[in-house]
């Protein structure tokens, strides 16, 4: 016996709206009785954190918390779909087990990846497993009444807090602490008291569709910092001392004056050059607003230098380093841990790029050439920004610049490349007035988003716009108006001059609240309402698509993204490797 899952034209990774087709290939060497073949598409976001020695900051009484050193777990079923590959839909509902002949058998199956995570739907989770049938068995006729499809106990997901967001990408990199994995699992049910079911699974990679980007504009996010070089110390113009010295061999010597620098006998010229006004420059790093980077593409960065004071000094860019910093927030029940990753995108030293020239007027802006970083894409290990129930990823961008007052000596400066982040002794003993002065300047973007580069289809974007321009779901009356806007019956008040005895006024009653309909049930619309800022009428563009978009996505057929148009992604080292998280006892 052997079980194999064969996927049809599998891409490097799957994404939202993809239709996965495949076959369960079962090879038998003898007759076997099979009750059903169940295929599941699952996604899990798992975290595990150890209890610190001082767990008083968690806000939970000590008698309810595990002891220090214990590990707590949190497992979210972000994706859960079940399909029955055998028997097919046309089989009678009360059909019994079927005997399969020896040989190779193929059972097709098909799934479509949704947009949002499934664990955030409390109503759907409550209907899976334990609520309907204790133990997680779906209804059906079988041995001891426990036949049918065995599904997970969805009530366990109700113990955790959830958010409804777009499915996160596949993610590993913190062994024993956090991971996000996607699987295709198959279970071959074998009826019988002493027969064990056959199981098999394969892993796969997933990268989500990016949210709709805002329209292009001229606005820019920037990080800027002014700086000024320190004034140079002028060389000493005092005559050299004529005091006689005694040499090692007992002979008296008279020191000779040093030769004039540069062949000039007038020391005032070099002194005036050294006493020149030190340059003052404002360096700014700019990104399109909002600051969005794209996986496997270069950073749309602009570096601009602005002259602040009149100075004849020349300023050069001698070093640059661009780092992308990823912050992963790992949450497990009441514990939170932050993990940092750093990617060095560009690191160049020994440069000589002019930033400010002597004849530039005050306020002149110079845009530095972007050839250094324009052709360098982000590494394929950088995943897009995401947020799910117990994991999230944020990014920062750090630009470090090395600037020199005076043109650096190419050979000497290249040999001093290690001084970008530290000092060097190569200039020890030299005249400091003739040494290019260097300044190291950091420019930071504290909040940068990284998108996957998979643009949503135009039909879905239009559906999202229509869905978000619709008014929020409200209780409505018979004519479609909200209860507060229903035309109220006017009280029967007699006109002036008419006796009130013949026309008694009707009592004025407050409007009766309209009962909530199933469509307006709190479990569907009010569990996770969109959080709006003051003055906002609709959720921002980076919110997860609501149910309306999910319905539109289900109507789309065919591949949204060809396999050849998908960028490289290596968020998971081995999608078929065993989980690195310890098993829960």
With 80 as the cut, is the pLDDT of residue 383 above it? yes
Q: Is residue 407 within 8 Å of 314, Cβ to Cβ?
A: yes
Query: Over the stretch 160-173, which tens digit does the pLDDT of each residue have?
Result: 788 889 999 998 88
Beta bridge partners of 353: 317
Cα-flanking dihedrals φ and ψ of residue 193, to 5°?
-75, -35
pLDDT, greater one: 551 or 138: 551
Task: Of 295, 309, 304, 303, give the one whose Cα is nearest residue 322.
Answer: 303
Top mean pLDDT of 57-61, 430-434, 447-451 is at 447-451
pLDDT of residue 90: 72
pLDDT of residue 474: 43
pLDDT of residue 248: 53
Can you read off the two tokens belonging to residue 62? 């000590």
pLDDT of residue 87: 85
Q: Residue 556 — very low, low, confident or very high, per pLDDT cuts 50/70/90?
A: low
pLDDT of residue 139: 42
Query: Over the stretch 461-505, which tens digit does the pLDDT of each residue have?
Result: 776 666 555 554 444 444 444 444 444 444 444 444 444 334 444
Q: Residue 21 — very low, low, confident or very high, per pLDDT cuts 50/70/90?
A: very high
With 80 as the cut, is the pLDDT of residue 33 above it? yes
pLDDT of residue 448: 96
pLDDT of residue 101: 93
Query: Over the stretch 274-328, which tens digit does the pLDDT of each residue have?
Result: 446 889 999 999 999 999 999 999 999 999 999 999 988 899 999 999 999 999 9
pLDDT of residue 431: 52
pLDDT of residue 167: 93
Q: Using the structure block, give the residue that is written with the tokens 């052997």.
A: 2
With 80 as the cut, is the pLDDT of residue 141 above it? no
Cα-flanking dihedrals φ and ψ of residue 338, to 5°?
-110, 130
Q: CA torsion 138→141→143→148, rounded to 10°?
A: -30
Length of the chain: 585
Average pLDDT over residues 258-272: 49
With 80 as the cut, is the pLDDT of residue 571 above it? no
Q: Residue 534 — very low, low, confident or very high, per pLDDT cuts 50/70/90?
A: low
Query: Over the stretch 228-250, which tens digit does the pLDDT of each residue have?
Result: 998 876 655 555 555 555 555 55
Give the helix/strand (H/E) hosting 108: strand 103-112
> ω before 290 within 30° of 0 (cis)?
yes
- Work out the mean pLDDT of the chain and round it to a whole number: 75
Query: Over the stretch 192-201, which tens digit does the pLDDT of each residue have?
Result: 888 899 999 9
Q: Which residues contact 103 (CB under 8 A, 6 or more apart)?
A: 27, 28
Q: Residue 140 — very low, low, confident or very high, per pLDDT cuts 50/70/90?
A: very low
Q: Which residues contact 412 (CB under 8 A, 6 or more apart)?
A: 426
pLDDT of residue 232: 76
Can you read off the two tokens belonging to residue 580? 């690195």
Q: Please tell me the pTM assigned to this model.
A: 0.72
Q: Residue 410 — very low, low, confident or very high, per pLDDT cuts 50/70/90?
A: low
Query: Over the stretch 353-378, which tens digit does the pLDDT of each residue have?
Result: 999 888 889 999 999 999 999 999 99
With 70 as the cut, is the pLDDT of residue 95 above it? no
pLDDT, greater one: 537 or 271: 537
With 60 as the cut, is the pLDDT of residue 134 above it? no
pLDDT of residue 239: 56
Q: Residue 157 — very low, low, confident or very high, per pLDDT cuts 50/70/90?
A: confident
Lowest-confidence range among 26-30, 57-61, 210-214?
57-61
pLDDT of residue 328: 95
């Amino acid at each position: 016996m052997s079980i194999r899952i064969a996927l049809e034209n599998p891409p490097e990774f799957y994404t939202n709206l993809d239709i996965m087709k495949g076959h369960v290939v079962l090879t038998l060497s003898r007759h076997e009785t099979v009750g059903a073949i169940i295929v599941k598409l699952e996604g899990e976001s798992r975290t595990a954190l150890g209890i610190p020695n001082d767990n008083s900051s968690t806000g939970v009484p000590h008698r309810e918390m595990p002891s220090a050193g214990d590990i707590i777990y949190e497992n979210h079923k972000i994706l859960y779909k079940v399909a029955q590959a055998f028997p097919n839909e046309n089989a009678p509902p009360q059909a019994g087990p079927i005997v399969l002949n020896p040989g190779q058998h193929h059972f097709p199956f098909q799934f479509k990846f949704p947009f949002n995570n499934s664990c955030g739907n409390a109503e759907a989770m409550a209907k899976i497993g334990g609520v309907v049938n204790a133990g997680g068995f779906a209804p059906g006729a079988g041995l001891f009444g426990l036949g049918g499809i065995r599904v997970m106990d969805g009530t366990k997901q109700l113990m955790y807090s959830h958010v409804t967001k777009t499915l996160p990408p596949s993610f590993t990199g913190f062994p024993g602490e956090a991971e996000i994995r996607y699987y295709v699992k198959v279970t071959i049910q074998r009826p019988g008291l002493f027969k064990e079911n056959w199981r098999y699974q394969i892993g796969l990679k997933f990268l989500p569709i990016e949210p709709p980007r805002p329209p292009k504009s001229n606005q820019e996010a920037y990080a800027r910092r002014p700086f000024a070089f320190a004034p140079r110390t002028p060389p000493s113009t005092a005559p050299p001392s004529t005091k006689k010295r005694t040499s090692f061999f007992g002979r008296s010597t008279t020191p000779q004056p040093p030769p004039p620098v540069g062949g000039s006998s007038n020391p005032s010229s070099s002194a005036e050059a050294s006493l020149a006004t030190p340059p003052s420059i404002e360096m700014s790093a700019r990104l399109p607003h909002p600051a969005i980077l794209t996986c496997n593409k270069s950073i749309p960065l602009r570096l601009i230098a602005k002259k602040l004071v009149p100075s004849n000094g020349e300023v050069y860019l001698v070093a640059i380093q661009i780092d992308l910093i990823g912050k992963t927030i790992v949450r497990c029940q009441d514990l939170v841990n932050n993990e940092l990753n750093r990617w060095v995108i560009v690191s160049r030293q020994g440069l000589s790029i002019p930033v400010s020239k002597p004849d530039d007027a005050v306020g002149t802006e110079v845009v530095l050439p972007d050839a250094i970083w324009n052709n360098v894409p982000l590494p394929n290990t950088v995943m897009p920004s995401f947020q799910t129930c117990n994991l999230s990823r944020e990014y920062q961008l750090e630009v470090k610049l090395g600037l020199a007052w005076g043109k650096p000596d190419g050979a000497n400066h290249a040999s001093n490349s290690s001084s970008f982040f530290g000092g060097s002794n190569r200039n020890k003993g030299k005249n400091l007035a003739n040494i290019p002065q260097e300044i190291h300047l950091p420019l930071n973007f504290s909040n940068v988003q990284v998108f996957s580069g998979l643009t949503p289809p135009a039909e879905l974007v239009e559906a999202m716009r229509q869905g978000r321009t619709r008014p929020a779901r409200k209780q409505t009356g018979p004519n479609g108006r909200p209860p507060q806007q229903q035309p109220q019956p006017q009280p029967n008040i007699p006109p002036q001059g008419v006796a009130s005895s013949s026309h008694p006024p009707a009592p004025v009653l407050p409007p009766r609240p309209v009962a909530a309909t199933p469509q307006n049930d709190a479990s569907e619309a009010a569990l996770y309402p969109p959080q709006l800022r003051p003055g906002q009428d609709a959720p921002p563009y980076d919110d997860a698509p609501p149910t309306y978009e999910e319905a539109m996505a289900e109507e789309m057929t065919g591949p949204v993204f060809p396999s050849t148009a998908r960028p490289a992604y290596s968020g998971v080292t081995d999608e078929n490797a065993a989980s690195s998280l310890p098993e829960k006892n």
